[in-house]
Amino acid sequence: MYVAVILALMLLLVSPASAFERVGDRRILVFVGRQEVPTIDPSIKYDWSIRMMQQSLYDALVKYVGPSAEIVPWLAEKWETSADGRTWTFHLAKNARFHNGDPVTAEAVRWSFARTLKLNQGPSWMLSDFLKEDGIKVVNPTTVQFTLTQPFGPFLSVVPWWYVMNPKQVTANEQSGDAGQKWLTTNEAGSGPFKIKRWQPGTLYELEAVDDYWKGWPSKDHVGGVIYKLVREAAAQRAALIRGEADIAEGLTPDDYDQVAKMPGVVVPEFPGMTTFGLKMNTQRGATKDVNLRKAIAYAFDYDAFLKIYNGHAVLEDSPFPKATRGYVAVPAFYRQDLNKAREYLAKSAYPNGGVELEYVYFDGLEEERKMGLVLIDNLAKLGLKVKMTATTWPNMVARASKVETSPDFLAVFTTPVSTDPDAVAYQYHKSSWGKYYGSSFYTNDGVWALIDQARTTVKWADRAPLYADIQKKIADDVPEVFGMLMNRRWGMRDHVKGFSFSPVRFTGEVDLYPLAITAK
Amino acid sequence: MTGYVAGRVLALGVLLFGLLCITFAISHVIPGDPARLAAGPDASEAMVQTLRAQYGLDRSLGTQFVVYTRGLLRGDFGLSLRSRNTVADDLARFFPNSFELVTLSLLLAVAVGVPLGMLSAVYRDTWIDHGSRVMSVSGVAVPAFWLGLMLQLVIALHLGWLPLGGRLNLTTELPPPITHLLLLDAVLRGQWATLGDGLRHAVLPVVTLSFPALASILRVNRAEMLETLHQDYILNARAQGLGGLRVVAKLALRNAMIPTLTMIGLRYGWMLGGTLLVESVFDWPGIGLYAVNSALSSDFVPVMGVTLVIGFNFMLANLLVDLGYAWLDPRLRRTAA
């Protein structure tokens, strides 16, 4: 906070400067972000910064595009599925090439999926219950077929995160049978629109556009490269953007975004996001085990405070599912502040007079979460409930959330689903999500779990949709969390950056670099 | 003298082992599950277990300690869960940057602190002495991160004279490594533009890191000089007609330098530790920043590696200081022999 205030003072003395870097005739976009890219191995890990790089260096069979998160053909020109939803056949584009010139073949696709499944890290959890290595078959050099062990409705929705690697390059760089893991940490074997130019871990990562990218480029002014520079202080990111030393900055505070939006030469595009914020309550231990107390809390909370904290750049949740999720329904009479109802439920609870202290755990340094804690203290005081605020580090939050015994009464949690398929959200309330940070409620409802299992193994959308409508209502009724808000996604951007394409399934700071162009001379 | 040196080296080994035990114990009692963090938020329990097994975190603490210690003897500092790299590789990448930062800072602190301390003593209670006192008190009192931010504010942002942070400009070419010390490699490769850019980026972090050391060196050197200048042998030298500067520089300074040298040695270790803050403020890619980022991810193997490296350097500096005593003070040489 102190650092942020000092750096904010600096901005008063700053005047806008020029823009992007130029190397020869290439216009290089400078992106400043706070998060490192420790690995780019598509089988090992993903988060927003890692996936921004993976999406630029690699291609997948299909890709999420645009604000509606449409799944469009990419390496696969077309695909078909069997009537029982177990067999998926993809036909590859014949002109797709890896960066070293090798064709992208069905064998490369098979090998890449098998590698990710075998290493059992990164995105493997998305398919490991439904796809085994022997279920992937090369039909011919441009046709690959997946036979699932049982129908899996969301199959296509997770395929965009399974990137295809060049097996020849990876196996040539194996060290002591590590499946190329060491090499792929900082090297790529992809077919994507960019390749690596410089890789300085902990400092900067530079990509160079592949001029003859097999898919072509959407704009003649496409960026010639991208430098992703690590700037860890949000206020320093803001300074870099205003000075013109950066073309895109992510992760600024709500106030920062509002301020830079007024600066000449800076724009702040804003989109409705899929990242939910909620105060997860421990439903298995302590006072919050009592569903009536949880309902009392949910009705006592001042939800408008969320909007104030984000200066209006957020929308309130009216279902456990984000609005962009397929099959979302607004749950009737969803929780809003109603002190009469709150007192009614408190009276029904085991704590009719309040008198208990609840712990609110939040991420140390995130001012918005601290403010939410203050709102909670104020609101729950009206019910005679006390709130103790505990600021801690992310590792501690994850550790505490992993066990019923340590999971706090309230855990402040942002969650971004991996796809627009409703299973991506519903499964967060399944028993299988216990132990994960977003499963810190240890939510239990056999009926809901059975519905989730049924819905994900149902093929036809017409059959799945009513199941998810029911799931949303049931979860809402059990109130495992104070359902909060969906924060709008914003980036600070110089106005010569064009072609920005938002997709809600991309993680918080993640930008699809492929369509970006620079129009300034 | 040889026995003295051998004894000190042996003590250094024992101290390092002690540091290893303490660091290992602390790293393993702090809450957090590094494997779960590294596996990612969506990872299943089976995936977390896979990672634990791969990194040996499923073994008992005793076994982990033995494996880690054996590895250290081979120069293997273990694996980082966060960077998925060997810690030895990461340290080799980041340590030269910190070494350059600390060395330049120490040189600056000595180059300014020693003469200023000497002048303050010689010109006691004059404007030079008062000015030096303000500097030394500020150096001790002002937190490094605050000074760093102020320098960024005034010098980099307001005046625009120097870069805000980082090691080089985004498009400056790195010299092909010879020593892995960027500035030295730039000189050896004749890349003068890179050298200039590297120095411009180094100025603010070096000034920030050197300021507290400069203040300490100045204070100690002034106090010692004052005491020395009142010694009988100085009076005697003056009485025999030796010139003022000669007495100060050749007789008094050399004797006053013994405690100052201790301070310089200790400061080297402290400055390596101090890089955590300065490197964070200036985005300087050294071991300090590496340690901070690792600690925030509960990735304790790199934190242990950095602690051991800093500890080893601290002890080495102390050893060199002790040996330096013998060179400066013949009486100690005789005692040691």
Q: Take residue B312 and report the two structure tokens written for it.
A: 């080893």
**Residue B49 φ then ψ, to 5°:** -65, -40
Residue A395 and residue B146: Cβ atoms within 8 Å?
A: no
Is a pLDDT exceeding 60 seen at residue A4? Answer: no
pLDDT over 90 at A404, yes or no: yes
**E strands in B172-326:** none
* Residue of A128, A232, A436 lying closest to B283 (CB–CB): A232
Test the B interface: residue of A23, A185, A393, A433 with most B CBs within 10 Å? A393
Specify the higher pLDDT residue, B4 or B48: B48
How many inter-chain contacts (A to B, CB under 8 Å) are there? 134
Q: What is the pLDDT of residues A177-196, one digit of tens each?
A: 899 999 999 999 999 999 99
More confident residue, B255 or A502: A502
- DSSP label of A162: S
**Per the structure block, which two tokens stand in for B100?**
């350059």
Q: Which of residues 255-294 of A touch B (CB under 8 A)?
A: none
Please answer yes or no on whether B33 and A398 come within 8 Å at the CB atom: yes
User: Which residue of A230, A394, A436 is in closest CB contact with B42?
Assistant: A436
Average pLDDT of chain B to the nearest whole number: 85
pLDDT band at A15 (very low <50, low <70, confident <90, very high): very low
Residue found under tokens 């089988």? A43
Helix (H, G, I), strand (E, B) or coil at A182: helix
Instruction: Please determine, for residue A3, whether its predicted confidence score (pLDDT) is greater than 60.
Output: no
Which residues in A lie closer than 8 A to residue B44 (C-beta atoms)?
Answer: 125, 128, 432
Question: Which residues 369-388 on chain A approach chain B with CB closer than 8 angstroms?
Answer: none
Structure tokens at A144: 């690959």
- Does the pLDDT value for residue B39 go beyond 60? yes
% of chain A surpassing 70 pLDDT: 95
Question: Which helix (H) or strand (E) segment is A344 a member of?
Answer: helix A339-348
What are the chain A neighbours of B174 within 8 Å (beta carbons)?
A: 200
Condensed to tens digits (0 to 9), the pLDDT of residues B134-161 reads 888 888 888 888 899 899 888 887 888 8
Q: pLDDT-derived band of residue B105, with 50, 70 and 90 as boundaries?
A: very high
Which chain B residues have a beta carbon less than 8 Å from that of A231?
Answer: 165, 283
Are B83 and A9 a contacting pair at CB < 8 A?
A: no
pLDDT at A157: 95
- Which residue would you say has higher pLDDT here, B281 or A267? A267
When mean pLDDT is compared over A8-17, A48-57, A253-262, B155-164, the highest value belongs to: A48-57
Nearest CB among B37, B150, B164 relative to A239 is that of: B164
pLDDT over 90 (residue B335): no
pLDDT at A107 over 60: yes
Q: Please report, rounded to a whole number, the percentage of residues in chain A having pLDDT higher than 90.
A: 81
Considering CB atoms only, which of A7, A10, A203 is closest to B167?
Answer: A203
> Would you say B221 and B113 are in contact if contact means Cβ atoms under 8 Å apart?
yes
Window from A149-158, A245-254, A441-450, B167-176 with minimum mean pLDDT: B167-176
Q: What is the pLDDT of residue B200?
A: 94
Instruction: Confirm or reject contact between A391 and chain B (CB < 8 A).
Output: no
Q: How much is the average pLDDT of A101-105?
A: 97
Looking at residue A5, what is its pLDDT? 45
For residue B282, what is the nearest residue in chain A, using CA coordinates?
A231
Quote the pLDDT of residue B172: 81
Q: What is the mean pLDDT of residues A389-397?
A: 90
Q: Crossing angle, helix A2-11 and helix A234-242, to 10 degrees?
A: 10
Instruction: Give the gap in angstroms from C-alpha A168 to the nearest C-alpha of chain B.
Output: 22
CB A211 within 8 A of CB A223: no
The whole-angstrom distance between A37's CA and the closest CA on chain B is: 8
DSSP state for residue B262 in the 8-state scheme: H
Record: contact A398-B297, CB cut-off 8 A: no
Give the pLDDT mean for B60-88: 89
Minimal CA–CA distance to A310: which of A108, A488, A521, A126?
A488
Cβ distance B171 to A23 less than 8 Å, yes or no, reads yes
Contacts of A226 in chain B (CB under 8 A): none
Closest residue, chain B, to A183 (C-alpha): B85
pLDDT attached to residue A20: 65
Query: Are B158 and A13 inside 8 Å of each other by CB?
Result: yes
CB A225 within 8 A of CB A28: yes
Average pLDDT (A413-426) is 93
How far from each other are the two terminal CA atoms of chain A, in whole angstroms?
A: 38
pLDDT per position as a tens digit, B245-277? 777 777 778 777 777 787 888 888 888 888 888
Question: How much is the pLDDT for B1?
Answer: 65
At residue B135, φ and ψ (nearest 5 deg) are -65, -45
